[in-house]
Amino acid sequence: MNKIIINGGHELEGTIKIGGDKNSVVALIPAAILSDEEVTIANVPEISDIDALEEILEYLNAYVERNEDIIKINSKSIVNKEIPESIATKFRASYYFMGALLSKYKKVEIYFPGGCNIGSRPIDQHIKGFKALGATVIEEGNKYTITADKLIGTKITIDMPDKGATTSVGATINIMLAAVKAEGETIIENAAKEPQIVNVATFLNNMGAKIIGAGTSTIKIKGVTKLGSSFNEVIPDRIEAGTYMILASLIGKNVKIENIIPEHNEALINKLKEMGVNIELGRDYAIIKKCDNLKPVNIKTLVYPGFVTDLQQIMTAMLTQANGISIVEETIYENRFQNVKYLNDMGSNIIIEDDKPYCGKLYIHGKTPLKGCEVKATDLRGGASVVVAGLIAEGTTTITNIEHILRGYDKIIQKLTSIGAKITIE
Ligand code: EPU
């Protein structure tokens, strides 16, 4: 089994170019099959979730050509058949084939998706949306058979009264995919506003869809009968950008993080500034120098534009280096503190408090020196948090279960090595 080995404590200097957004591209690729012609997606990151998507496309007999960061997809020859559990559970975004195949073929047979084990992650709002559009959904164990004679536009309100999250990114995109060729108009109320929703809507509109309002809480979709060829670029990955911003704030001599959209990271940038970090922002870059006297701050994860849950675990690693007590509240996922055990093994002093109705709170007592040891990547961002901890720790950190990290971080070893990190895969 592969491991990441880090020799920590080395200052970082140089430029890192951010890749395409994982959580956009994993929706853009299923969306591509809605077209009757070839579509091209550029700025595709090198992550293993893309390999899993490619496997589904090839299994369905679509034509896929991947060349560096460009992917071309032609779905003319698709054979719509059951997507087996062994493929669907490899990653979370396999659920976007529900909306895309339902939209195009009025039938989809697929299993409950996989993805990081960070909470219960139901898909009731996706299913509610498909049913509202006129589909019949049969659930047998983990298998979903979704069929429709026709799909008819309607008003769908995403509504999760029992959850900390007030809306769902996945349900918003999946309903958009299902509604794009439905008869008449679909209105999604309380839609998620994350940047990836805008990226997907722009891509569909370039193919001929009629979607307005993406990025606001009301999205209106006028159904069209045909979608054509399109070229689209994946937006920069704001979580990858945020991860390197945090790292540079801790051990960056002068690190330039380029190909970013600073507005997408506004909540993080404000917190870093509050902690005392020196950040120079340009149109599409940030230059960051480490701060040796970090102030503690409190974080609460929220839907966009609030502080994103996907940076919570990485920020927690950073807060172990602030002078004082920081509090982190996770409101989106109930199981996103698994990294804490490993940070504490490295020397941090973090106490977990289960504080329902929120998913939980952390009290981080800083500043504590960290020492390298053997740790586990419990999930994608938990993995990134121990990479950051390992890079600032004294001595050697060995990370196991690194497949989680490779699912979502574009060329992570090459990028970190290029700015002076001592990190290898063994
Ligand atoms: N939820 C429901 N019912 C639903 C859908 C969601 O209760 O039908 C709940 C979830 O259980 C969760 C919350 O609502 O508590 C938010 O879920 P959401 O649907 O917004 O998340 P997702 O679409 O499954 C995507 C990203 C996640 C990211 C979240 C929130 C992908 C493939 N995943 O997940 O990314 O955390 O949005 O921004 O796009 C990651 O990159 O590390 C990651 C986990």
Instruction: Return all residues near 162 (Cβ < 8 A) that are at least 6 apart.
Output: none
Measured CA to CA in angstroms, residue 146 lies from 59, 100, 186, 276, 423 at distances of 19, 12, 19, 52, 46
239: number of Cβ within 10 Å: 23
Specify the CATH architecture of the domain 4-19+236-425: Alpha-beta prism (3.65)
Alpha carbons 102 and 304: distance in angstroms, whole number:
28
407 touches ligand 1 (CB under 6 Å): no
User: Looking at residue 376, what is its pLDDT?
Assistant: 97
User: Which of 301, 396, 288, 380 is closest to 93 using CA atoms?
Assistant: 380
One CATH from 3.20.20.80, 3.65.10.10, 3.40.50.2300, 3.90.10.10 for 22-233: 3.65.10.10
**Percent of the chain at pLDDT exceeding 70:** 99
Residue 362 CA to ligand 1 centre (angstroms):
21
116 touches ligand 1 (CB under 6 Å): yes
| Alpha helix ranges (H) inside 33-164 | 48-59, 85-88, 96-105, 124-132
123 touches ligand 1 (CB under 6 Å): yes
pLDDT tier for residue 359 given thresholds of 50, 70 and 90: confident
User: Looking at residue 34, what is its pLDDT?
Assistant: 97
pLDDT tier for residue 165 given thresholds of 50, 70 and 90: confident
Ligand 1 closest atom vs CA 164:
15
Does residue 416 surpass a pLDDT of 90? yes
124 touches ligand 1 (CB under 6 Å): yes
303-323 pLDDT tens trace:
999 999 999 999 999 999 999
Atom 39 of ligand 1, residue of closest alpha carbon:
23
Share the mean pLDDT of the chain.
96
70: number of Cβ within 10 Å: 14
Ligand 1 closest atom vs CA 334:
15
Domain boundaries, the chain: 4-19+236-425, 22-233
Residue 6 CA to ligand 1 centre (angstroms):
30
For β-strands 396-400 and 374-376, DSSP reports them as parallel
User: Looking at residue 358, what is its pLDDT?
Assistant: 64
| 188 compared with 358, residue with greater pLDDT | 188
For β-strands 252-258 and 285-289, DSSP reports them as antiparallel
Say yes or no: do domains 4-19+236-425 and 22-233 share a fold. Answer: yes
pTM of the model: 0.97
Does residue 115 surpass a pLDDT of 90? no
Residue 165 CA to ligand 1 centre (angstroms):
9
132-153 pLDDT tens trace:
999 999 999 999 999 999 999 9
Any idea which residue has 């976007």 for tokens?
96
Mean pLDDT of 82-91: 93
Residue 344 CA to ligand 1 centre (angstroms):
27
**Backbone CA torsion sign across 131, 135, 136, 141:** negative
User: Looking at residue 164, what is its pLDDT?
Assistant: 81
Mean pLDDT of 66-74: 96
226: number of Cβ within 10 Å: 11
198-251 pLDDT tens trace:
999 999 999 999 999 999 999 999 999 999 999 999 999 999 999 999 999 999
Q: Active site includes 116?
A: yes
Q: 181 in helix, strand or coil?
A: coil
User: Looking at residue 117, what is its pLDDT?
Assistant: 87
For β-strands 107-111 and 70-74, DSSP reports them as unpaired
56 touches ligand 1 (CB under 6 Å): no
312 touches ligand 1 (CB under 6 Å): no
Own/partner pairs for 135-138, CB < 8 Å, 24+ apart? Answer: 135/102, 135/178
- H or E segment and range at residue 199: helix 195-206
Atom 18 of ligand 1, residue of closest alpha carbon:
168
Instruction: Return all residues near 32 (Cβ < 8 A) that are at least 6 apart.
Output: 39, 41, 73, 75, 203
Does residue 191 surpass a pLDDT of 70? yes
Mean pLDDT of 252-257: 96
404 touches ligand 1 (CB under 6 Å): no
Residue 121 CA to ligand 1 centre (angstroms):
7
Alpha carbons 260 and 238: distance in angstroms, whole number:
7
| 304 compared with 120, residue with greater pLDDT | 304
User: Looking at residue 355, what is its pLDDT?
Assistant: 60
Residue 303 CA to ligand 1 centre (angstroms):
10
12-64 pLDDT tens trace:
999 999 999 999 999 999 999 999 899 999 999 999 999 999 999 999 999 99
